Amino acid sequence: MKLQQQLEQFKPISLPEMDQVALINRIDTKYIFHASLLEDVLLSLTKNYSILSIDGIRTHLYNTFYFDDANFNLYLNHHNQRGSRYKLRLRKYGSSEISFIEVKAKTNKGRTIKSRKKTQSFSKNLDSDQLSFFREITKETQGEWQCSSVIKFNRITLVSLGSA
């Protein structure tokens, strides 16, 4: 079965309905598996998950600029699995063309807390408002932040039907 046909098997959830699901403060669990297993994995999830659908589209383009300091300390904190750490990024959600500056903080208890603010500017250079938001959230007052990586991908978003 083709991927798009498989995705049609999921009950759709809209962006306004997703606002009712706690995605800003959550526990992330990510899985890695071989692409040949995707059909079976999706099939096993259709009864327990809905899929984000915007104007009937179920795969969504994400463009992301990640920022770090000259020593890549944000990346190294992630790589070394430091308990309390954060990521700084600008993300454009392709389906809506809306951009946000986002700080994803990981607590030493394994929770992910995302703070974000809409932004008009989407470039590899942070503007003064974006820098202020970042400093307000992280309490970081020092540091020069530069674009350290650019990532573009298509994503499906599944939401547990048991979530509230």
The model's pLDDT over 71-123, given as tens digits with 9 standing for 90+, comes to 999 999 988 888 889 999 999 987 678 899 999 988 888 788 889 999 999 99
- Residue 116: C-alpha distances to residues 41, 77, 83, 92, 101 (Å): 31, 21, 21, 12, 6
* Cα–Cα distance measured from residue 143 to residue 164, given in angstroms and rounded to the nearest whole number: 39
Structure tokens at 146: 């530069």
Q: Across the beta sheet with 85-93, what order do the strands follow? A: 25-26, 112-119, 98-106, 85-93, 60-68, 146-155
Q: How many domains does the chain have?
A: 1
The model's pLDDT over 7-48, given as tens digits with 9 standing for 90+, comes to 999 999 988 887 776 565 666 677 888 989 999 999 999 999
Range of the structural domain that residue 155 is part of = 3-160
CATH of the domain at 65: 2.40.320
